Every structure is written in C-alpha cells, then in structure tokens.
Structure 1
Amino acid sequence: MKKLPFSFLLLCLWLTGCTTHSKPGIEGYVVKKESGRILVVASKSEDFSSTGGLKEFYPAIWFSHASNKADIGDKVQIWFDVVMESYPGQAEAEKVLVLPSKKPKDADLTESDAIRKALASKEFILSNVPAVKSVTYQSKTDHWEITIHSGESEVMVQIKD
C-alpha cells in the first residue's frame, strides 16, 4: 500500500512537468525578422493610463527559435515561458502557431502579403516597434488598408491589390 501514494505522486509530478501552457503568451503579427529571431507585436493594445502609463500600449517580444516558422506579415500565436523585460521583450519560443492568412474573394494578395508590403514601405523602415492595428480589404477600390501604430503616431497605408 505504501507504493501507491509514492507512485501516484511521481505520476502527478511527471504530468505537471510535461504539460505546456494551454493559452499562447502572445498573439500578434510578425513585424521584423533578423539574426535568427522574429519580432512579434500584439494585435490588441493594453490600456495602462489608469496607472500613469500609456493608453495604447502594444506588447512586443523578440523570439528566438521561431524564425524558420513564421514570416513578416504572418499572424501568430506563441507560447513561451520566461521573458526578459526590456521593450521589446526577449524570449525563447516554445511553440509557434501561424494562423491562416485571410484572402478575400476578389483579392489577389493575402492579408499577410498586404501587411508585408505595408511594413516594407518607407514610413516603417526606421520604426522600432510597428504595431499592426487593423487590416481591411476594400473590394470596390481593390486595395488594402493597413493601419499601423508606431511610437505615438498612427499611419494608414494603402496597398494596391
């Protein structure tokens, strides 16, 4: 009888150690890729104005061990454990899930393609942490509208489809 509780304890410890986080630590867009890592900026802002912080803050993390799994413009979910608290943060990706890129019925480009082109435009070459705020395809005019938050400004870039 004494072996059952010890065996049960070992099983519980093993299961606890082998489980991964059930929810991703961040969901956002890959906005840069360099030196074997990717920069992911959250697609939704957080409001820290009640504590004296920014009203529109976009969490951002450089991930190592993820550069061969995602490209600039991809929307991703990433699981990670420890993050170095700089801005952008730095962490090692445990799991990377690239979400399917939307391609509207009449569009030639995918959402990822349009974001990639917008981020390559001259407005964002010098930007440290561009946050993709919204992406919309306008079928009547056959172009994409990508709103990007950068620093304290916001720019709407139009990309011809």
Structure 2
Amino acid sequence: MELHMFNLRIVLISFSVLITCLTGCTGQDECETYVQAVAHREEGFTGYVVDRKEDSILVVDPVYEDFSANGGADRYYPAKWFSNAPDPQIGSYVEVWTDGGPENEPYPGQARAEKIDVSCPATPEGAQMSETDAIRGGLYSSDGKKVRIPVIEDVNFDENSKIWTIRIRDAMSTTDTENEIDVT
C-alpha cells in the first residue's frame, strides 16, 4: 500500500507541475523543463521554498505522511534545508536532488543540493501576480510570520474577485486545525 501511495503521489505532483508549466511558462529562463528532468533522473525532494538563509533554502513538501499507526504524528510534512541553492525564490515549487552526501536529520533535515529544477509559476488570466508571488506575499504577511515551519497546503485564485487565497499550516502543529491560516 505504501508503494501505491508513493506512486500516486509522484503522478499527482508530476501532473500538477506539468499543468503549471503548460499554463504558466512563457519562455522565461528561470523555468527549467521540469517534466523532462523527472523522466531522466531518480526522484528528488519536491515542495515549496518557504525560507532561505544565504545560499540555503528550506523546502517543505505539502503532501503529509501519516505515521499514527506506529505511534507517530498523523501529519508529518517532509522538510529539508538544502545548501548550495542560491537561485530559487521563496514561494517557488521545486524538485531538489542531493549530491549523495550524508543528510543531517533533526527536523527539518539538511542536505547539499546538486541540482534544483524550478517549476514555472502560474499566472491565471486576470491575476496581477503569479502563484509564486502570492505565496511569497502570504509567507511575508504578519499571519505567515507566526508559522515556524510553513506548509503551503493550498493555493487558489478566484477569477471573480481576482484574489489569491493561500492556506498555510505550521508543520510543527499537533492538530488538524492548529496554526492553520488563510491569507488573501
């Protein structure tokens, strides 16, 4: 069952990134061909860049794992600091491959990035900013700053009101609704 959920997760992430690239890429140099990279490499670590310090980025996967059957957390969000990552901006959705070196494990983990693919940010018709810019704005808002390890749980643009809504959760929360905020 774990392998089935893992494969389903890969398909869903790849599909969402493909849709994002098809709707949001306009030949910008910062957008790499994400789907081709996935087909030719082993799976990397995927998620949103939610923080950065010098040449390191914190990437948090919005798809949680449930370890409650073994006495662990019912919502564990994989998160890692990657060094050697000067380019990706906060709010970007990325896939990161490590250099194969040892990874340090206190949560969030730490590793050295070898390659980073940045997905193309979507800018729906009528939007004044891209998805990446909206996420960054949510993280920099006063509510977003209250969260220790931000998880970008949902990003939605309402075409009628022309408003982005970003649902941010704290990866360190212990309940389903603790530290869950919506930023518009």
Pairwise TM-score range, normalised by the shorter structure: 0.7 to 0.9
2:148 aligned with 1:89:
no
2:88 aligned with 1:62:
no
- Give the drift of 1:127: 2.6
| Secondary structure, counterpart of 2:69 in structure 1 | helix
- Give the drift of 1:128: 2.3
**Aligned match of 2:120:** 100
Whichever structure has more helix as a proportion of its residues is 2
Number of residue pairs matched?
Answer: 137
TM-score between both structures, scaled by the size of structure 2: 0.71
Deviations 1:52-103 (A, max 9, x none): 111111111001001x220000000001133211111000001100001111
Instruction: Give, in whole Å, the separation in 2 of the partners of 1:26 and 1:76.
Output: 8
Instruction: Give, in whole Å, the separation in 2 of the partners of 1:96 and 1:23.
Output: 13
Instruction: Give, in whole Å, the separation in 1 of the partners of 2:135 and 2:113.
Output: 22
Q: Which moved more, 1:88-97 or 1:145-154?
A: 145-154
Code of the residue aligned with 1:78 in structure 2: it is V
Code of the residue aligned with 2:181 in structure 1: it is V
2:58 aligned with 1:39:
yes
| Secondary structure, counterpart of 1:114 in structure 2 | helix
**Aligned match of 2:181:** 155
Instruction: Give, in whole Å, the separation in 2 of the partners of 1:103 and 1:149.
Output: 23
- Give the drift of 1:22: 2.2
Question: Of the candidates 82, 89, 94, which is equivalent to residue 76 of structure 1?
Answer: 94
**Aligned match of 1:53:** 72
Instruction: Give, in whole Å, the separation in 1 of the partners of 2:50 and 2:166.
Output: 13
| Secondary structure, counterpart of 1:83 in structure 2 | coil
- Give the drift of 1:36: 1.9
Question: Of the candidates 125, 149, 159, which is equivalent to residue 139 of structure 1?
Answer: 159
TM-score between both structures, scaled by the size of structure 1: 0.80
Q: Which moved more, 1:104-113 or 1:78-87?
A: 78-87
Contact 2:49 2:60 in 1 (8 A): yes
Instruction: Give, in whole Å, the separation in 2 of the partners of 1:102 and 1:47.
Output: 30
- Give the drift of 1:35: 2.6
Code of the residue aligned with 2:45 in structure 1: it is I
Structure with higher Rg: it is 1
Whichever structure has more strand as a proportion of its residues is 1
Q: Which runs of 5+ in 1 are unaligned?
A: 1-20
Instruction: Give, in whole Å, the separation in 2 of the partners of 1:24 and 1:93.
Output: 13
